[in-house]
Amino acid sequence: MHTAQVNARAARRTPDPADLERVRRGHIASLSTATIDSPEGRVVFKIGAYDFLRNGDSAPDTVNPNLWRHAVLNAHHGLFQVIDGVWQVRGYDISNITFIRGETGWIVVDPLTTEFTARSALELVNQYVERRSVTAVIYTHSHADHFGGVLGVTSRDEVNAARCRIIAPEHFLRETVGENVIAGPAMVRRAMYQFGTRLPSGPRGHVDCGLGTATPIGPPTLLAPTEEITVTGQELVVDGVRVIFQLTPETEAPAEMNFYFPDLKALCMAENCSHTMHNLVPIRGALVRNALNWSKYINESLQMFGAEAEVLFASHNWPRWGGDDLRGFLVLQRDLYKWMHDQTMRYANLGLTPLEIAETLELPEEFLAHEHTRGFYGDLVHNAKAVYQRYLSWYDGNPANLHKLPPSDVGSRYVALAGGADALIANAREAFEQGDYRWVAELVNHLVFADPTNTAARNLQADALEQLAYQAESSTFRNAYLMGAQELRSGRSVNPNANVRARGLLLEMTIEQVFDALSVRTMSEQLGGIALAINWTFTDLRGTPDERWTLGVSNRTIYSTRGRHADNAATSVTISRSTLLDVVGQETTFVDAMKAGQASIDGDAGALLTVFGNLDKFSMGFAIVEP
């Protein structure tokens, strides 16, 4: 009843009817299949699972009506002509893939998340527009859904033969590895909550991801850039097409860029402008974005390209057509991020904490009146905390919060304070009947962490999270609530393999990045009193600074030094970089590599075991809503 009332109030506003025209404009064809599958028959993306959004039904009580409307718009799928010379494939991945007609082939902007969805998109444009090879790929930024499908549109051989250029913003590879490998296992697990990857699709389950309908299931691939954009205003001619680039670091991604096609009068805003309020830090985790600079870069785009541009497209959602419309769109997007930044820091400087600021701020009507500045993906509650964190850290200034007790310990004490489990549940059930679901979630969370075997507590907590999900306008909040409810009721699906996501990136990692990734896995408690060095010579990097490396153990940490060998090394390894990557990726072992003549070891082979035998294994199934 309470959720139905909340959603009924939300349904009173009238959405922008022009968005429905925008998502349909230029439609040429759609895939006729219900799924996109891998060659082995594994389902990668379920197109037909979202047909319930395409029936013209009104929003059910179980979905916020504004989110339902946004999900209906995202559910339009297929090949679309943006303008003459520019096509997009939308709706088969959380991101868009854009095809620009070059003199000899396709210029691909953002080749989606997996090679399977990217290949399907390429086949669609080749079938209905023109069959061409891919002569260039442009990565707008360092998130996997914008590079992970690159092997679906080109190949390593094509790139190595200089028949396909790979263009990206500077520091792309560094930021890609930092986000997807160093923090990869934890981020993948948390992303399951953000994107709701294990929720059943439907009005009571998964309906949308804000930036697109859903995420495909498959590991990303990667080809390293052959060219980096290093300065705003840099111009390239790519397969006969002029492109002017604008670097936008620390906006939606640490390495990101917008760009403009002056002869087409087409502006690509990457993921810096979408048809939703974006995250200033995603709930999956990432570096906190710079809301102030984000706003300034949108303003710079307006100044550089706004006067001439006639169409705007982006890495998610749908385009905008017409100079006045796209300029108005950019102005609102610019002002949204500036408003969140300024008002958060205004209240912070008045002494309010992140929780108090999030509870105080309300999005003004100027933004609520437009679809693309509402929180279908990001959420003002979360974004205010992100701005605070960027300037003032997680700590709210109250010393009582400097060294708080862990959840299980504090949970047991709260249960005792409440008079026991039964009394706490009785209080929470009364709050539930009153529709006070936020308080139920906070209260029962203590009991779940004090006693995760208490079925009544788990079910009541799941019920409260479910109602919060049904009310949420943000897709990420809805997905997280529903994932939590599902795992409280049914338990976790434990995935012991945390390396799948990293394997597609491993081949492009530098030696330094490989050693850094290994060091994160160091079991420090096993390395007390050990100090050693291992010299490495990489046979396929002869004559470069990366030919010689030292990898050592010191004070329970692993360190690496480029370009030199240690005089007192315990052992020396001669190996190719590619063979080391096979060992790290668990495709082979040092012993098998030696037997195959692909590696040699001179000295104490036990030193290798000391390092590689004391690396932790990560699981992407760790607990979130329970101890």
Give the separation between CA 191 and CA 286, rounded to whole angstroms: 11
Could you tell me if 201 and 264 lie in one domain? yes
By residue count, the chain amounts to: 627
- B/e letters for 240-259, b = 16+ CB within 10 Å, e = fewer, are ebebbbbbbbbbbbbbbbbb
How far is 550 from 108, CA to CA, in rounded Å? 40
Examine the domain organization and report whether 562 and 460 are in the same domain: no
**Residue 402 included in any domain:** no
Q: What pLDDT was estimated at residue 506?
A: 80
| Burial class, 216, CB count within 10 angstroms (exposed 0-12 / middle 13-18 / buried 19+) | buried
pLDDT value at position 61?
Answer: 96
396 is a domain residue: no
Q: Is residue 624 part of a domain?
A: no
What is the per-residue DSSP string for 327-389? Answer: HHHHHHHHHHHHHHHHHHHHHHHTT--HHHHHHH----HHHHTSGGGS-SSS-HHHHHHHHHH
**Residue 92, pLDDT score:** 98
Rounded to 10°, the helix 475-490/184-195 angle is 100
Residues 306 and 366 occupy one common structural domain: yes
Q: Which of 264, 109, 279, 259 is nearest to 190 (CA)?
A: 279
Give the count of domains, the chain.
Answer: 3
Cα–Cα distance, 218 to 44 (Å, whole number): 6
Domain that holds residue 415: 407-471
- Asked if 429 and 534 sit in the same domain, the reply is no
| pTM (two decimals) | 0.94
Residue 505 near residue 180, CB atoms below 8 Å:
yes
Query: Side chain identity at 68, as an amino acid letter?
Result: W
- Cα separation of 98 and 221, whole Å? 18
Model pLDDT, residue 503: 66
Tell me, yes or no, whether 518 and 431 share the same domain. Answer: no
Which residues touch 459 (CB under 8 Å, ≥6 apart)? 488, 489
Which tens digits make up the pLDDT trace of 16-33? 889 999 999 999 999 999
Query: The dihedral of CA 413, 419, 421, 426: what is its sign?
Result: negative
Q: HSE of 235 in the Cβ direction (CA atoms, 13 Å)?
A: 9
Burial of 403 (0-12, 13-18, 19+ CB in 10 A): exposed
Domain identity same for 124 and 178: yes
CATH code for the domain in which residue 520 is found? 3.30.1050.10
pLDDT of residue 181: 81
Both tokens of 477, joined, read 């909040």
CA–CA dist 237, 248 (Å, integer): 20
350 and 444 assigned to the same domain: no
What is the DSSP pairing of strand 557-562 with strand 548-554? antiparallel
pLDDT value at residue 505: 78
pLDDT at 15: 87
- Residue 140 to residue 225: CA distance in whole angstroms: 11
Q: Is 404 exposed, middle or buried (0-12, 13-18, 19+ CB in 10 A)?
A: exposed
- Domain annotation covers residue 297: yes
What's the confidence (pLDDT) of residue 500? Answer: 47
Helix%, strand%, coil% for the chain, nearest 5: 45, 15, 40
Residues 325 and 261 in one domain: yes
- pLDDT the model gives residue 495: 60
Q: Are 388 and 357 in contact (CB under 8 A)?
A: yes
Q: How many CB atoms lie within 10 A of CB 25?
A: 13
| 46 and 130 both lie in a single domain | yes
Contacts made by residues 546-550, CB under 8 angstroms, sequence distance 24+: 546/510, 546/511, 546/577, 549/511, 549/515
Q: How far apart are CA 526 and CA 532, in angstroms?
A: 14
Question: Any idea what the CATH number is for the domain that residue 436 is in?
Answer: 1.25.40.880
Q: Do residues 414 and 376 share a domain?
A: no
Between β-strands 165-169 and 27-29, what pairing exists: parallel, antiparallel or unpaired?
unpaired
| Same-domain check for residues 214 and 319 | yes
386 in a structural domain: no
Which residue positions in the chain have pLDDT lower than 70? 494-503
C-beta separation of 279 from 378 below 8 A = yes
Q: Tell me, what's the pLDDT at 16?
A: 87
CATH number of the domain to which 191 belongs: 3.60.15.30
Does a structural domain hold residue 400? no
